[in-house]
Amino acid sequence: MHRSFSETKFLCYKACIGTGIDVGRAEDIASSAVRIGAYQSEIFDCLPNLIRTTKTRPHTLDISRKVADFENVSVVNDGPFFADCLQSNLYRKINIRHIDSVLLLGGFCLHLAPELSLSLSLKKKVVARFFKYSLAADDEFLISNKADYVTLKITDKIHDDLVELEPSGSLFIKDKSWREIEDLAANTYVQETEQSRLTGAGAGLTDND
């Protein structure tokens, strides 16, 4: 079913909050999912499992190098951190041994670092480039989810084999995926009881119109 960007972004935000993700990161995840979803809507099939991921430990990096290396990465936990690393100018390249969603990593690039020209490689092959909210990519990027040997780096190089893609004007999300996201969002709702109504939930116990 086709969904609007604002409706989808709000529901994804609520789903993130429903799984215990903090407000700031929930906003970034929802915005990033919608941005990449305009190019590949299958990200919403994966999103419920991604946002249920247990939070990873903070990373310790060697700031004497311009390259940051990571092993197993949860993109909902680490995606914003990667953007910070590259925007800080302390790092120009990030190597990832394994990531649970290349697509959502692309969404973070589009949402959080539009001022940077970034390329994304899978096993040393460049499959996507992000710059000023635009995406150039090949089919390998668009069908990627979990991946090994991912590299994200700042670059001004133009890759002629990548095609600049046009984002969709709406999001097509499968009913099953939408219901799963709704179920997570429902964790934020207050149970409807007489006591909850007395404390402000719902429309109240009396109609004063």
Give the C-alpha separation, 99 to 50, whole Å: 11
pLDDT in tens, 91-114: 999 999 999 999 999 999 999 999
Residue 203, pLDDT score: 47
The alpha carbons of the chain give a radius of gyration, in whole angstroms, of 19
Q: Residue 52 falls within a domain, yes or no? A: yes
Q: Calculate the average pLDDT of the chain.
A: 88
Does the pLDDT value for residue 126 go beyond 80?
Answer: yes
pLDDT in tens, 21-62: 999 999 999 999 999 999 999 999 999 999 998 776 667 677
Q: Residue 171 falls within a domain, yes or no? A: no
Is 0.75 topped by the overall pTM? yes
Residue 149, pLDDT score: 96
Give the C-alpha separation, 78 to 75, whole Å: 5
User: pLDDT class for 207, splitting at 50, 70, 90?
Assistant: very low
- The full DSSP string for 120-131 is EEETTEEEEEEE
Alpha-carbon distance values, 179 to 31, 127, 183 (Å): 19, 31, 6
Q: Residue 160 falls within a domain, yes or no? A: yes
Q: Across-strand partners of 95?
A: 69, 151
Give the CA diameter of the chain.
Answer: 67
Q: Residue 63 falls within a domain, yes or no? A: yes
Map tokens 């150039």 to a residue: 136
CA nearest 21: which of 45, 52, 47, 42?
A: 52
8 A C-beta contact, residue 158 and residue 128: no
Q: Residue 93 falls within a domain, yes or no? A: yes
Q: Across-strand partners of 153?
A: 93, 119
Does the pLDDT value for residue 206 go beyond 70?
Answer: no
pLDDT in tens, 162-191: 999 999 988 999 999 999 999 999 999 766
**Residue ranges making up the domain that contains 132:** 2-164
Residue 21 DSSP label: -
User: pLDDT class for 202, splitting at 50, 70, 90?
Assistant: low
Q: Residue 187 falls within a domain, yes or no? A: no
8 A C-beta contact, residue 50 and residue 21: no
Q: Is 39 helix (H, G, I), strand (E, B) or coil?
A: coil
Domain total of the chain? 1
- The full DSSP string for 84-114 is HHHHTTS-SEEEEEEES-HHHHHHHHHHH-T
Q: Residue 26 falls within a domain, yes or no? A: yes
Q: Residue 197 falls within a domain, yes or no? A: no
How far is C-alpha 135 from the geometric centre of its chain's CA atoms?
A: 15
> For the chain, what percent of residues have pLDDT higher than 70?
88
